[in-house]
Amino acid sequence: MTTTSERAPQASPRVSQSVFDGSRLRVVLLVDVYDGAQQQFLEAYEQLCHQVASVPGHVSDQLCQSIENPSQWLITSEWESAPPFLAWVNSEEHVRMVEPLHSCVRDTRSLRFHVVRETGGPAADDERRLQSMPRIGDGVIRHALTFTVKPGSEEQVKKILSDYASPEPRVDDSTRLCRTSLFMHGNRVVRAVEVKGDLLAALRHVARQPEVRAVEEAINPYLEQDRDLDDPESARMFFTRAALPAVHHVTAEAGNTPVERHALYYPARPGHGMRLAEVLARQDAAAADDPHGPVVRSTIFQRDDIVVRLIDVRGALDTAVPAPFLGLSDPGQVAELTTFPDGDPARVLDAARMDLVTDRRSPDA
């Protein structure tokens, strides 16, 4: 195989997931179109692709139709790197752009890949960067949802979200729900899930469980964003806006050391969310090489100006030595990238700390 493109900088072997290595991104969208709606879908796509062409970081896209089933379509797009794609796909602009597709599409599935190797293509001096090495993961997919509740309802919401029966963790022979960690910071709720297997199948499985449905219905009156779970479009829009993707995960050598799970909420300055997440990711990747460091695992979730860092640490958070836990040791970075009023690391750590509502593991996780 002949590799024709420049490789991105060498990545840490401890980092199993990251969108920040600068390598090119290939996005694959599998689309199931309603019977008879193919022409409507094609027209909606043509309108969409003209709009996407002007999005920074977008390189190209292709639309393909199955040679076996005319209802199955495939959209592939190439991006200069993952951050510009994520900034676009998580934006309100994207929500508006794809709205014409909803009436003709039965189901979609989005897959995102860094380009590792390629043959042919551009000249060797072209600035098309490849992921430098394969990442080695633990088989766990991490994802989060976030939403806000009406101020003053926090205690009622905490009680509802902590007092329910755990859903059946087994989804099918290849997928199971491993862990659900739920935190609050003021009136913001963050629910982080860990899944082995198919994330989409796991999320759909959980949504169908009666105990989960009862909890979702119970918190509806307290949500700042209205939703109707009996209306598929309303539910889809809510969960689209609530999605908080994982953008970086790193694991240090921990052995059998007991760990505690904590979550930190970093309110980014407008337009600085991705940059803040990248700074935290680079710090976590460097810290993972320290065998005596307090942070054993770190997952960073980011959407727009919301950044949440889920950390498993040796012992409790130590405000006497806050920098390793906070991930931001420079008060200048705190002032530049966040809206924390005070740059003192100890006070920032205290302000960022989220309240644990519930942390549940499946029996064999």
Look at the block and give the residue holding tokens 């949802």. Answer: 145
Neighbours of 230 (CB within 10 A): 8
Same domain, 327 and 254: yes
Look at the block and give the residue holding tokens 């027209």. Answer: 43
Does 129 reside within a domain?
no
Does 125 reside within a domain?
no
Does 9 reside within a domain?
no
What tokens appear for 354 in the block? 């989220």
Type of residue numbered 63: L
Instruction: Return the closest-CA partner of residue 72 out of 98, 119, 34.
Output: 34
CATH of the domain at 32: 3.30.70.100
Same domain, 315 and 344: yes
Neighbours of 121 (CB within 10 A): 13
Does 122 reside within a domain?
no
Same domain, 148 and 232: yes
Does 67 reside within a domain?
yes
Domain boundary among 190, 220, 245: 245
Same domain, 180 and 81: no
Does 134 reside within a domain?
no
Q: Where are the alpha helices (DSSP H) in the chain?
A: 38-52, 82-89, 92-98, 154-162, 199-208, 210-219, 232-242, 273-287, 323-326, 331-337, 345-352
What is the tally of structural domains in the chain?
3
Half-sphere exposure for 275 (CA within 13 Å, toward CB): 10
Angle of the 210-219 helix axis to the 199-208 helix axis, nearest 10: 80
CATH of the domain at 295: 3.30.70
Whole-model pTM: value is: 0.90
Which whole-number Å values give the CA distances from 152 to 98, 168, 216, in the listed order? 35, 32, 18
CATH of the domain at 176: 3.30.70.1090
Q: What is the DSSP string of 125-157?
A: TS---B-SS-----SEEEEEEEEEB-TT-HHHH
Residue 49 phi, psi (nearest 5): -65, -30
Same domain, 327 and 283: yes
Look at the block and give the residue holding tokens 């449905």. Answer: 213
Same domain, 229 and 167: yes
Same domain, 231 and 253: no
What tokens appear for 107 in the block? 């189901």
What tokens appear for 30 in the block? 């599998």
Give the pairing of strands 355-361 and 188-196. Answer: unpaired
Does 128 reside within a domain?
no
Domain boundary among 69, 96, 114: 114
Same domain, 241 and 254: no
Does 309 reside within a domain?
yes
C-alpha 220: how far from chain center: 23
Which whole-number Å values give the CA distances from 322 to 206, 316, 348, in the listed order? 36, 11, 9
Same domain, 226 and 255: no
Q: What is the pLDDT along the chain (365 residues), one digit of tens a residue?
A: 444 455 554 555 677 889 998 899 999 999 999 999 999 999 999 999 889 999 999 999 999 999 999 999 999 999 999 999 999 999 989 988 888 888 899 999 999 999 998 887 654 444 568 887 788 888 899 999 999 999 999 999 999 999 888 888 999 999 999 999 999 999 999 999 999 998 888 888 888 888 889 999 999 999 999 888 888 888 888 888 999 999 999 998 766 778 899 999 999 999 999 999 999 999 998 888 888 888 999 999 999 999 999 999 987 887 778 888 999 988 889 999 999 988 888 899 999 999 999 999 988 76
Enclosing domain of residue 265: 248-359
Look at the block and give the residue holding tokens 């090489």. Answer: 289
Instruction: Return the closest-CA partner of residue 91 out of 223, 245, 222, 277.
Output: 245
Residue 301 phi, psi (nearest 5): -110, 140
Question: What pLDDT does residue 76 have?
Answer: 96
pLDDT in tens, 208-266: 888 889 999 999 999 999 888 888 888 888 888 999 999 999 998 766 778 899 999 99
Instruction: Return the closest-CA partner of residue 276 out of 324, 191, 340, 341.
Output: 340
Instruction: Return the closest-CA partner of residue 255 out of 291, 287, 222.
Output: 291
Same domain, 278 and 206: no
